[in-house]
Amino acid sequence: MGERRRYASSTDVARLAGVSQSAVSRTYTEGRSVSPQTRAKVLAAAGQLGYRPSLIPRIMLTHRSYLVAIVVGGMYNPFYAAVLEQFAVKLPEIGFQPLLVHVDSGDSLDDALPRLASYRVDAVVSALAIRSARSAGQLAQLAIPVIAFNTSFRNAWVSSVSADNERAGRVIADLFFNRGGSRFGFIAGARSSTASEARLKGYRAGLRSLGILDVEVARADFRYEDGAAAAAELYRDGVGPDAIFCANDLIALGAMDTLRHRLGRRVPDDVLVAGFDDIPAASWVAYELTTFVQDSIGMVAEAVALLLAATASALPFGGRRVVLPSRLVERDSTTRSPAAHLEAPTRDAGQPA
């Protein structure tokens, strides 16, 4: 087995170039003075040796790494994949490098806490929420800016960028009612999901304003398979909702397939279905799902703006909350008219169409 490769050091470059080590350091330090001749010698020697300056000395000297931890999980969800890609593009544009930190959770960054404490990062950003005030407090102990999506927990170091989840719930309640819905269901994510609970809260409030108090709730795990199972649970006694709001699009797609292929319900004639996120599959002809656009581009832009302001401040710059509107996109899954629903033929529960 060959010897492990030894990386060239600044001392090696200085020796080959015939200059001092400090001259090598000045060449690679923005704003430091070095003559054109010395710079040319250093760069030529560095190229010959394959030398790349290490960030470690700069971190030790300035206490800045220009690394931002991006906490990701639930990558089965196209929304998170889109957010990750946008952060990976935007952060280098403002002088930061992303450091990917993966967690198993699809809704919370709490599990990343032990690893975040060991990294020399300048900030943390995440499309995942913070599960509790205790976790937010532990993140604050890192004494670096933290920006999380759709979280209600904030403090001197922790800020939030959110979709207007409650308003979306109210909007879909009105839409369902105006489309002839009379029995209402909600397929929620985990109870720890701030976004899911806010969507349910708005949905309940919207229906309550219309004089409707009963909402049947099933739980899922933001995945297609869980949405399919939760839809079956809603119809366990043969009679289920005729309007179902789902906490995200993957849940909604799974619910639609169960309704149509296992339970013999027609969407939207028998059951109205809506989701949240507007992932690409929502517009596929097989689904044509009514959903809300969770503005990932806008949310990333707001997170980056908070990051710049926070890292430029000498004091803690947390506690901010930015809320962006969620835009309704109505497609075929809710386009029936109230009259069409009333005229639809009835059949025994559970019998195929």
Q: With a cut of 60, say whether residue 16 has pLDDT above it.
A: yes
Token duo for residue 64: 């800045």
Is the pLDDT confidence value at 224 over 80? yes
Residue 169, H or E segment:
helix 165-178
DSSP state of 259: I
Q: Name the band, by pLDDT with cuts 50, 70 and 90, for residue 261.
A: very high
Lowest mean pLDDT among 89-93, 110-114, 139-143, 145-149: 110-114
3-state secondary structure of 232: helix
* Confidence bin at 76 (pLDDT 50/70/90): confident
**pTM for this predicted structure:** 0.79
Q: Does 352 score more than 50 pLDDT?
A: no
Q: Report the first-to-last Cα separation within the chain, whole angstroms.
A: 68
- Give the torsion sign (CA, 78, 80, 81, 83): positive
Judge residue 288's burial from the number of C-beta atoms within 10 Å of its C-beta, 0-12 exposed, 13-18 middle, 19 or more buried.
middle
Q: How far lies 249's CA from each of 47, 235, 261, 298, 332, in Å?
A: 50, 20, 18, 19, 14
* Alpha carbons 101 and 83: distance in angstroms, whole number: 14
> Which residues, including other chains, have CB under 8 Å from residue 29's CB and lie 6 or more apart?
none
Look at residue 341 in the predicted model and tell me its pLDDT.
53
Phi first, then psi: what are they for 323, rounded to 5°? Answer: -120, 125
Nearest to 158 by CA among 149, 169, 145, 168: 145
Q: Is 186 exposed, middle or buried (0-12, 13-18, 19+ CB in 10 A)?
A: buried
Q: How many helices (H) and strands (E) does the chain have?
A: 13, 12
CB 200 within 8 A of CB 187: no
What residue ranges define each of the domains in the chain, with the CATH number in brackets?
10-54 (1.10.260.40), 62-163+295-325 (3.40.50.2300), 165-290+330-343 (3.40.50.2300)
How do residues 165-189 score in pLDDT, each as one tens digit?
A: 999 999 999 999 999 999 999 999 9
pLDDT exceeds cutoff 60 at 294? yes
pLDDT digits (tens, 9 = 90+) for 38-62: 889 888 988 888 877 765 555 545 4
Tell me the pairing of strands 158-163 and 184-188: unpaired
HSE at residue 250, side-chain half, CA atoms within 13 A, is 16
